[in-house]
Amino acid sequence: MPSVPGSTDAVPPSSGRLDRLDRALSRRAAVDWPHPRWFTLPLGGLSLSANYGVLWYVLCLVPWLFGAADPLWKALYVAAPVTLVEMTGFVIKHFVGRARPPVADPTQPEQIPLPLSKSFPSSHASMAVVGTFTLGMLYPQWIPALVALVLVLCFSRVYLGVHYLGDVLGGLAYGLVFGAAWVLLVPAPV
């Protein structure tokens, strides 16, 4: 049975070259790169804050705290698709059934607590894209900061060993499709 270089992770014989490359690249970021505590601790905190969409729910309420008009409708415009993309993502995860890196390879350390769900696609990535689409429609001036947040969150999921790179790319693609459909079909309450 072939395995990923530098690990004891047994890769199924049916896995293709792309899967092996995905595992190897992801392991390099999660294990081989330096993980100083001063960097991984705040990065892990940010990554965990996005669990179950919490980060996006908080962000959609920020304008309400500053007296934005129609705060409930604007918050729902963001929260509803973030919730929907996460729920449908969990269904996809169930059917794909890809184990998270530290589960598939017990030699890989857990940098942060692992969610109980499967690995593909990354819900953090899909929710981040949908949150950026919807918040960006409401507050275009936020777009550069939101894009930077998406990049940091996606990096954190691979670097902290919670996802493979392919999971994050799949989550980004799913979020792009879902987010684009949402903003095209549901008018923003501006």
- Cis amide prior to 63 (ω within 30 degrees): no
Instruction: State the pLDDT at residue 5.
Output: 43
Number of structural domains in the chain: 1
Instruction: State the pLDDT at residue 6.
Output: 42
Helix (H) or strand (E) holding 157: helix 143-159
Residue 18 located in a structural domain: no
Residue 24 located in a structural domain: no
Residue 148 located in a structural domain: yes
For the chain, what is the mean pLDDT?
89
Per cent of the chain over pLDDT 90 is 73
Residue 25 located in a structural domain: no
Residue 22 located in a structural domain: no
Residue 17 located in a structural domain: no
- pLDDT at residue 66 tops 90: no
User: First and final CA of the chain: distance in angstroms?
Assistant: 57
Decide which of 88 and 113 is more confident. Answer: 88
Instruction: State the pLDDT at residue 15.
Output: 67
- Could you tell me the residue range of the domain that residue 86 belongs to? 36-185
Residue 81 located in a structural domain: yes
Residue 27 located in a structural domain: no
